[in-house]
Amino acid sequence: MKSNSCPLVALIGRPNVGKSTLFNRITRRRDAIVDPTPGVTRDRHYAQASWEEYAFMLVDTGGIEEVDGPDTDQFSDHIRTQALQAVEEADVILLLLDGRQGVLPGDHEIVNLLRRAKKEIFFVVNKIDSPEIETELLTPFWELGVPELWALSGDHGYGFRTLMEALAEKLGASEAPPELPEGTIRLAFLGRPNVGKSSMVNAIMGQERMVVSDISGTTRDSVDTLLSRDQYTYLLIDTAGIRRKGKTKDKLEKFSILKALKALSRCDIAVVVIDAEEGITEQDTKVIGYTQDHGRALLILINKWDLIQDDKKKQDWLLEDVRLATNFIPFAPVFRVSAKTGSGIKRIFPEVGKIHRQFHQRFSTSALNRLLEAATLHHEPPMYRGRRLKLYYTTQLDSAPPTFVVIANFPKGIHFSYQRYLTNRFREGLGLDRIPVRLFFRERSGRSKR
């Protein structure tokens, strides 16, 4: 996704109303490139999707809820949490209701909660599998007092196109993001509450030679700042920024996955901030996984280093923990910094420059093929069912991240270890040591088969 903004569409609803069925129907149209990065979290509850020319991020809020805190079995709490989260973060909400079950007492509450939110909401009655039963199954839902109801069968497809067209229309009508200067390097600051994201953004802004420009149309869910230094422009996306305005002391702030996902869809480089004193937590690891699901470049900042600067033992533990947690992405640079004292911050920008250059780099097909030839000469692909695997040629499909396809006779027969070998050779040969690189195999003729 290369646009500046990507609206977030949240699916909410009770368990078993058909959220994941609809989720799959919406997302499976995308013929996604299978990510060969090992160890990456494969959370299937969110995905980039599109309808006609409108791209959006689709999130099944019911599925990711447990990430956000202790789960509760209480059904009404469950959906209320989803709804509140969606109201806060999503641009469009699809509330799924179960046409076969009819209106349940809890539905009123949830509809009222949503109606107050003044968001774009689609009230969708699902499991209406054919037009003949529409009237019968839909009618009872008018008692909810909503302006419009959408009949749908997520399973069979009835009503699907109509719903998606209406959704696309809403997405098209939403406010266009402000234009960024050509070549702007977009950095999203992610991490748990209180790790120091905002402090870091402020420390960066306060640096010498850094010119802060005004950016109009700051998004609801994060604060954007445009900076320039030398000939470069940077967009800093501070996912912690907004809450500053209505800071509530007594309420413990929760980490918001939705907010993180949304910021990720708008950035080139994800800057994951970790608290040196608290160490790396499961949630940090999860966020790091998300950055790779999205194919983002990644920079890890261990902040508050000042707090452990005299504790050599703790430093060693911490660095080892970070190393272990990121061993599936050894390319990600890790910096020790302090937003408070400013130490280490000067080094961030030269690094960001290198990461960005690599992330967007393009290579000629001839250079890539020379590399492929040398790599296969050095280490031939193994046999597959008694036949020699042949790698014919390679080309770069995309940048950000650099993505390569290798045409082969039996793509399925290529073992993961050989794929890793080749990816590493490409990395070395192309000087891509700081960013994720994707390499996959495809059959020679016709369309690729799955």
Task: Please enumerate in sequence order all residues whose Cβ is within 8 A of that of 358, keeping only pairs 6 or more positions apart, or say none.
Answer: 297, 402, 431, 432, 433, 434, 435
CA-closest candidate to residue 123, choices 150, 156, 160: 150
Q: Enumerate residues 236-255 that contact ligand GDP by CB under 6 A.
A: 240
Token code pair at residue 315: 């430093």
- Pattern of binders to ligand GDP over 37-76, x per CB under 6 A? -------------------------x--------------
Q: How many alpha carbons fall within 13 Å on the CB side of residue 179?
A: 2
* Residue 115 CA, distance from chain mean position: 28
CB of 274 to ligand GDP, least distance (A): 10
CB of 37 to ligand GDP, least distance (A): 27
Check binding of 17 to ligand GDP (CB under 6 A). Answer: yes
For residue 230, what is the enclosing H or E element? none
Q: Is 32 helix (H, G, I), strand (E, B) or coil?
A: coil
If 0-12 CB within 10 Å is exposed, 13-18 middle and 19+ buried, where does residue 210 land? middle
Among 37, 48, 194, 218, contact with ligand GDP (rule: CB under 6 A)? 194
Check binding of 307 to ligand GDP (CB under 6 A). Answer: yes
Check binding of 352 to ligand GDP (CB under 6 A). Answer: no
Among 4, 5, 19, 267, contact with ligand GDP (rule: CB under 6 A)? 19
* Beta-bridge mates of residue 394: 406
CB of 5 to ligand GDP, least distance (A): 22
Backbone phi and psi for residue 88, each to the nearest 5 degrees, phi listed first: -75, -40
- Pattern of binders to ligand GDP over 144-183, x per CB under 6 A? ---------xxxx---------------------------
- The size of the interface with ligand GDP (CB under 6 A), counted in residues, is 32
Check binding of 196 to ligand GDP (CB under 6 A). Answer: yes
Check binding of 336 to ligand GDP (CB under 6 A). Answer: no
Check binding of 360 to ligand GDP (CB under 6 A). Answer: no
CB 215 within 8 A of CB 227: no
Task: Please enumerate in sequence order all residues whose Cβ is within 8 A of that of 448, keeping only pairs 6 or more positions apart, or say none.
Answer: 411, 442
Site residues for ligand GDP per CB under 6 A: 13, 15-21, 62, 126-127, 129, 153-156, 191, 193-199, 240, 303-304, 306-307, 338-340
